[in-house]
Chain A
Amino acid sequence: MATRTAAQPAPAETATAAPSIGAVREQAENWQAFPDPAGHFGRFGGRFVPEALMAALDELTEAYDQARADEGFVAELDRLLATYAGRPTPLTDAHRLTEQVGGARILLKREDLAHTGSHKINNVLGQCLLAKRMGKTRVIAETGAGQHGVATATASALLGLDCVVYMGEEDTRRQALNVARMRLLGAEVVPVASGSRTLKDAINEAMRDWVATVEHTHYCIGSVMGPHPFPMMVRDFQRIIGVEARAQVLERTGRLPDAVVACVGGGSNAMGIFHPFIPDTAVALIGCEAGGDGVATGRHAAAIAGGSAGVLHGMRTFLLQDEFGQTQVSHSISAGLDYPGIGPEHALLHETGRASYRVVDDAAAMAALALVARTEGILVAIESAHAFAGAFDVARELGPDATVLVNCSGRGDKDVDTAARWFGLLDDAGGGAAGADPRG
């Protein structure tokens, strides 16, 4: 199969001296040492960008270092998270879902209840506040599902910044409702017709914009990816998810969860909920990559399960590529997970074994979406449904004495059209893709 050749490891000399796995595992308790000052997470991360952007990345790194040490900045962000974004988000005991699945107690971290409907707002409020502090008047963003674009348009409206969102043409069709939302919020949405017309091409176009406008424009990257300092900074802004959830689970159950499960596109909701648990080595951290039609078909978005180490979008990480280093097109029913790479910190978490990654295909994710909807009355995003599907397996493996914390990263309003087609719920749509009845 085609992806096997692609997955062969690159010749050994391309690996910049990897730290020994044992040494890194010991570092789990001191994980905050990552990244190093140049943005490396072990052999991953770094900055692979044109020289023209280097000064801007240095400026951003310095501004961010100052801001996070500045009580005024931190207080302002906390105020917005509480009074605007609706934090803390609740922890929900999913009783009926737990019963249906028949395993561990399932707890949900409800990022779907944050303003704009997903965790993306946490990062965007941080970056847009920082952009203002740096004197930038314009922000640009890429978006796949549209959730990061909507969040960026929202924060830009709130803070009075001009906003341009790049979105693959293919995704503007899949997520038409979010395109309208962004425009209502005053953002300009630019459909990107180059390459595969999805998220990776939207990122390319945003980078092209940024090289030419960097003096007054901030590129608000939507996940824990890209060149340093983005993977670190976005993780820090998303860390609030895990900080809250860890305290909430302790308070609710009197102990730490046995496993934390999240979906992984670029990996920001997963990094956000994982990070505070990394030193708690008894807690299993499990990321769910999008399996599309199945890794064996080659039509998937699982960078760890079906990819290999290389460089894309400014970072060294795992990605889907052919034997010549050309990026391969990813496939997933979920626009927000339809990306051929993964954030570099996940690459290191995987390589050190501190986190493990599973693959959830389209069909399993959609079945999970339906089950959560009818047992808990929560319509989750298709992205988040990948985490639920993975969590069901984990819950069964761990058994009823265990607790599994699932990051419910977003709500599914944007996905009603896709789900209705999948399940054949529209009167004129005939049978669903899988002929699946959501009532089971």
Chain B
Amino acid sequence: MQSRLDERFTAAREEGRSLLVGYLPAGYPTVDGGIAAMRAMVAAGVDVVEVGLPYSDPTLDGPVIQDAADAALRGGVTTTDVLRTVEAVAATGAPVLVMSYWNPIDRYGPARFAADLAAAGGAGAITPDLPPEEAAPWLAASAERGLAPVFLVAPSSSDARIRLVAGISRGFVYAASLMGVTGTRAAVGTQAADLVARVRTATELPVAVGLGVSTGAQAAEVAGFADGVIVGSALVKVLVDAQRSGAGDAAALDGIGRLAAELAAGVRTPVPASA
């Protein structure tokens, strides 16, 4: 059975482009402000939304996402607000995934979280610190609710581990472009293309590349070899900068719209990988 997420990847493949996946944390700067920002990025061309679940110990995130998550938690955001955000954004028609460290889902209860995420219209969840070896309860819960469990591969992953991760992922495989935490980078490293090529020998699933992409040009480059381009910190930074400078909500949403449009143009003009 094709999910909304699967259909988007198929359609994009037929259009000869990559999907643009945009990440923002729920509850930043407020729950409603976060929803508005996510809707703005969908309106400007983001195909798939990753709703971040703010967590107290985000060991995989660089300073930008840490700061936003910290502020969201100080503002009192909870898992319930995250699910409300998913529901509001899924209403736009875009597939919505939750991006969460494992403990909040573990604590909520994997089966209960899967049920509530599905009920909110969510497409699945990305769980960056849940390794395949510990994933059985989440795989069962996701399968029962028709959710896509998305797992990560990294440049350091062996071919055997890539097969393991790809074998349990649904929707797509998330390829971390580099060894490091989230944050914008001046250049997308060569490791990403090699990694995607290795993933393709293991699975037919689409492969999306994340970590470090921040500009339309980088998006075009990654679109040359990947099915999806994931952008997080660059979008979050627009919101954080607007908060810091007191630019106001309207200016923040404009900024999100501008960056999303630039990135959306990028994924539509893939630079051939051999170039």
Contact = CB atoms under 8 A, between A and B. Distances in A.
Interface of A: 10-11, 13-14, 16, 38, 46-56, 194-195, 200-201, 204, 207-208, 211-212, 214-215, 310-314, 321, 323-327
B103 A325 contact: yes
Given A55-B158, A311-B103, 10 more contacts: A11-B108, A14-B106, A50-B129, A51-B151, A52-B179, A54-B157, A54-B161, A324-B79, A326-B56, A326-B73
B57 A327 contact: yes
A321 B105 CA distance: 13
A7 to B, nearest CB: 12
B131 interface: yes
A324 B57 contact: no
B101 to A, nearest CB: 8
Interface string B110-140: 1110000000000000001111011011000
A195 B151 CA distance: 26
B111 A13 contact: yes
Contacts of B130: 48
B103 A321 contact: yes
A51 B59 CA distance: 13
Interface residues of B, number: 47
B109 A11 contact: yes
A214 B179 contact: yes
- Which 10 residue pairs spanning A and B have beta carbons closest together? A325-B107, A11-B109, A52-B154, A325-B104, A212-B180, A55-B156, A325-B103, A207-B59, A327-B56, A311-B103
B129 A13 contact: no
- Scoring B56, B130, B158 by chain A CB atoms within 10 A of each residue's CB, the highest score goes to B56
A51 B132 CA distance: 9
10 contacts: A10-B106, A16-B136, A52-B157, A201-B57, A208-B59, A310-B106, A312-B57, A321-B107, A326-B56, A326-B73
B137 A14 contact: yes
Contact of A324 (B104, B134, B152, B158): B104
Contacts of B78: 324
A51 B153 contact: yes
A312 B102 CA distance: 9
Interface in B50-71: 55-63, 66, 70
Given A55-B161, A211-B179, A10 B109 contact: yes
Contacts of A46: 133-134
B60 A323 contact: no
B24 interface: no
B199 to A, nearest CB: 12
A225 to B, nearest CB: 13
B188 interface: no
A285 to B, nearest CB: 28
Nearest to A15: B137
Contacts of B151: 51
Contacts of A201: 57
Nearest to B158: A55
A211 B181 contact: yes
Contact of B57 (A14, A49, A195): A195
A215 B179 CA distance: 10
Contacts of A10: 106-107, 109
B115 to A, nearest CB: 11
Given A11-B109, A324-B78, A312 B103 contact: yes
B57 A200 contact: yes
B165 interface: yes
A334 B139 CA distance: 41
A312 B107 CA distance: 12
Contacts of B137: 13-14, 16
Nearest to A16: B137
- Scoring B105, B152, B156, B161 by chain A CB atoms within 10 A of each residue's CB, the highest score goes to B156
A184 B40 CA distance: 53
B157 A55 contact: yes
Contacts of A204: 57-59
- Scoring B57, B62, B108, B129 by chain A CB atoms within 10 A of each residue's CB, the highest score goes to B57
A194 B108 CA distance: 25
B176 interface: yes
A129 B266 CA distance: 49
A210 to B, nearest CB: 9
A208 B180 CA distance: 7
Contacts of B110: 13-14
B152 A51 contact: yes
Contact of A50 (B107, B108, B152, B161): B152
A200 B151 CA distance: 25
A313 B57 contact: yes
Contacts of B111: 11, 13
A23 B213 CA distance: 51
Contact of B133 (A14, A38, A211, A312): A38
Contacts of A194: 63, 66, 70
A54 B108 contact: no
A325 B106 CA distance: 8
Given A51-B131, A200-B57, A212-B181, A324 B157 contact: no
A58 to B, nearest CB: 8
Contacts of B58: 204
Interface in B149-180: 151-158, 161, 165, 176, 179-180
Given A207-B59, A312-B57, A52 B176 contact: yes
Contact of B134 (A47, A211, A214, A321): A47
B156 to A, nearest CB: 4
Contacts of B165: 51
Nearest to B58: A204
B11 to A, nearest CB: 28
B274 to A, nearest CB: 27
A214 B105 CA distance: 28
B131 A310 contact: no
A431 to B, nearest CB: 35
Contacts of A215: 179
Contacts of B109: 10-11, 13-14
Contacts of A56: 156
Nearest to A214: B179
Contacts of A47: 131, 133-134
Nearest to B174: A51
Given A16-B137, A208-B59, A327-B56, A51 B176 contact: yes
A215 B178 CA distance: 13
Contacts of B131: 47-49, 51, 54
